[in-house]
Structure 1
Amino acid sequence: MDFPDSEVMDSDLSTIVDFNHINSTKSTATSSVKAGISSTSGVHELLECPVCTNSMYPPIHQCPNGHTLCSSCKVRVQNHCPTCRQELGNIRCLALEKVAESLELPCRYLNHGCSEIFPYYSKLKHEQLCKFRPYNCPYAGSECLIAGDIPTLITHLRDDHKVDMHDGCTFNHRYVKSKPHEVENATWMLTVFNCFGQHFCLHFEAFLLGMAPVYMAFLRFMGEDSDAKNFSYSLEVGGNGRKLIWQGVPRSIRDDHRKVRDSYDGLIIHRNMALFFSGSCRQELKLRVTGRIWREQ
């Protein structure tokens, strides 16, 4: 990332920053992270915002007494130092920003398997895309905050959400609802399939598309988007001699469930059509959704 230079206003940094302390802790921190250990003292501590405790990136602000904080928290504390209550003004701690440029730190997902080491200012960008970062629970319809690797999520879905687990690359599911006219933004069902040594989530739910109630089925891949593109799937629903077919590429669970749903990337069935598929009485929803997953060559 490139950051603009700016002038320091109303401050003599030499009276505020202890350079001997920074130089000694910098070498300690750098040597530690090159050995695969994230420094928890010295410069690494100096670069931790005292308000949000996140790593600070330019512009790093400081008060006249030398207390530092990140630019986001400067607004949050209404331009007053949270340590000494002095007015912050527009003082930049350029010395600390320069020191950060020389640091190399391991990815925060070191314990999850990422062994990469990055310059301080590149580390954050990498971590936003790191393939070792935990996945969020793909279960929709609840505010589940669980995150972890794929095996952890599989166990969590099975034990905590009681999700049906199936082996195989074809599926044939029947969805029944006694009061199909009561469509409120609600998730109906999640089923997990294990095939090709991978796991896939089949979603089926009812929601309002504008003012029109619809049903939607779509598939998500439990892994990265680059791997999801190696697979395709088809969905089919019908009745009374009519049929709807959808073919697509599963979306990674990195994409939020609502994001996938609101992009309409799946099989969408309007309620009138769904009731027509269900039979002549139109008083009960009975949909059979079939499909399969295959690997692209």
Structure 2
Amino acid sequence: MTASPSLPLLLRVRRAPGALRGRWTLVLTAGGLVLVAALALLAPVLAPYPPLATDLARTLRPPSSAHWFGTDELGRDVLSRVLYGARTGPVVAVTVVGVSLLVGTATGLAAGYCGGWTDEALMRLTDVFLAVPALLLALALTTVLAPGPAGLTVALVVTWWPWYARLVRGEAASVTGRAYIEACRTLGLGHRRILLRHVLPNASTPLLVQASTDVGGVLLVASGLSFLGLGPQPPAPDWGLMVEESQNYFTTHWWLGTFPGLAIMVVAALCFLLGDALRDRLDPRHTPRI
């Protein structure tokens, strides 16, 4: 009598379609974000017109062969401004996540590894920032700081780093109490080596997944603040600012707000999908949906 397939083999066969779908999602979303980065870098080459060039004889023209995305109220080419806009909003989002990741990781590692009063002091400081709604704190800070990409970046970093500190602190505290960490200390390994070689790698997977998703979230918040006039100032080609400038023309000249709005939506969706795909591939505790 022929032996039946083993249970692990059956599970691998059952999950194969889901794994294949997750792999393609990861490839497509990463490729889409690479394309967005390439468009931003090559904006001076790809843009058919200078983003700030006005032409009062061609104001509010609908999409055509001369202006694929139409023109705005000052005759500026919307396609050129959308391409150059990829250099502001997404760059601010990546910068905010990168700096927040560094600050939050350092704070969380120190708190989780040292414990005691260090843990209490750092986590209470983190709780102070978490007690204030993030959007409200960002609004207050951007109002105080000089409007522009720099002030917007600083305001969002202040509101974003505590989440990474909390995440890393939990992972670091869990790992620090394990036997192999005590063995490393007994062998005389320095704290720096233990943190970088043994504690931090255990937090790298959730950090990578969270950071990938947060780029999309920061982009949405940054675009919202730009819409309120707290980000880049006119005549800068910024997606959130372009949507704000189009609100008086939305019912009559749809292209003014549609294309920058679609750019925000597509980039944010790619970041969210990338985070989900990374979680499916890297987190062994997560079972992808089939």
For the superposition of Structure 1 and Structure 2, which TM-score range results when normalised by the shorter chain? Answer: under 0.3
Q: Which has the higher helix share?
A: 2
Q: Work out which of the two has the higher radius of gyration on C-alpha atoms and give 1 or 2.
A: 1
Instruction: Choose between structure 1 and 2 for higher RCO, CA contacts under 8 A separated by at least 6 residues.
Output: 2
The structure in which a higher percent of residues are strand is: 1
**TM-score for both structures, normalised by structure 2:** 0.22
TM-score normalized with structure 1 length: 0.22
